[in-house]
Amino acid sequence: MTPHNASGPSRWSDLDRPPLNATALRRGLLHEGGLWTSVDVVQRTGSTNSDLVARAASGAADEGAVLVAEEQTAGRGRLDRRWTAPPRSGLFFSVLLRPAEVPLERWGWLPLLTGVAVATGLSRAAGVDTALKWPNDLLVTVAGEERKAGGILAERAGEDGVVVGVGLNVSLRADELPVPQAGSLALADAVSTDRDTLLRSVLRSLETWYDRWRSAGGDPVTSTLQETYAAGCATLGRQVRAELPGDRALLGEAVAIDGDGRLVIATAEGVREAVGAGDIVHLRPA
């Protein structure tokens, strides 16, 4: 018998994209004394970040809450960019963190920490070398070319919390890409596109890095976060254009990540400027 859903395609309609197993995820991730306190999987929502921020505001979510969507209809990246993908083709999730031990001025490291954790988790579970584009893009190599396969968005949740969201293209085929320059784990020849396995690996890696960073009081040197991020950052050593607030652009070489997680750009005039917000464009060599 063919399953039928009057409101749309069945959740089993694409057998290459089975649904996530919420029970197995909880069994693998929730344990006494661990960071993760709940794992909820919803079939469809606008934005997991928006939903989790609202839950935190109403007191309905504890630190370590994980919200995963099989499909996002209003997923957002930085600068309010839209993020869309077919149902069950990727990992779209948000986590609630309350790093009380870390001074507020170091919370800006959380998106970078998440990037390191995701790249580490994917290396183990998917066998894919994931590079980081400052500040929050996840890059994979498809046919010798760097492509964006994911992004990270951190938002404040009340006075004491941060919701960090991750969107990652897993099984998108070439004809499904939102733009030709995008990529996916499948197109990068991942050894596994099993989303349950990938999500468990990424969240375990995130727990490890978050605990290390929090134990160090958010110090990026003691926790080795600054060093590790720089080692995996594809932006460093590149000629870039930083499109900054106020319609200002800065051209130069990305030379370092400073102690505040900012990108240091050296201009042709010998000036070094640390950029904390803006859009970074990797320029092709002349």
pLDDT tens-place string over residues 223-248? 999 999 999 999 999 999 999 988 99
Residues for the chain: how many in total?
A: 286
Q: Please state, as a whole number, how many other Cβ atoms lie within 10 Å of the Cβ of residue 74.
A: 12
Angle, helices 110-126 vs 195-215, to 10°: value is 140
Q: How far is CA 109 from the centre of its chain?
A: 13
Q: How confident is the model at residue 6, as a pLDDT? A: 41
Buried b (16+ CB within 10 A) or exposed e, 222-239: ebbbbebbbebbbbbebb
Q: How confident is the model at residue 85, as a pLDDT? A: 82
Q: How confident is the model at residue 8, as a pLDDT? A: 44
* Cβ neighbourhood burial of 44 (10 Å; 0-12, 13-18, 19+): exposed
Cut 0.85: pTM above it: yes
Q: How confident is the model at residue 80, as a pLDDT? A: 55
**Prior bond to 135 cis, omega within 30?**
yes
Q: How confident is the model at residue 82, as a pLDDT? A: 62
Nearest to 148 by CA among 157, 135, 139: 139
Q: How confident is the model at residue 286, as a pLDDT? A: 55
The C-alpha angle 231, 106, 101, rounded to 5 degrees, equals 115
Longest dimension (CA), the chain: 70
The parts of the chain modelled with pLDDT lower than 70 are: 1-15, 75-83, 286
Q: Are 151 and 77 in contact (CB under 8 A)?
A: yes
Which single residue is written with the structure tokens 């077919």? 86
Q: What is the Cα–Cα distance from 25 to 193, expressed in whole angstroms? A: 16
Q: Are 151 and 78 in contact (CB under 8 A)?
A: yes
Q: How confident is the model at residue 15, as a pLDDT? A: 65
Q: What is the Cα–Cα distance from 215 to 209, expressed in whole angstroms? A: 10
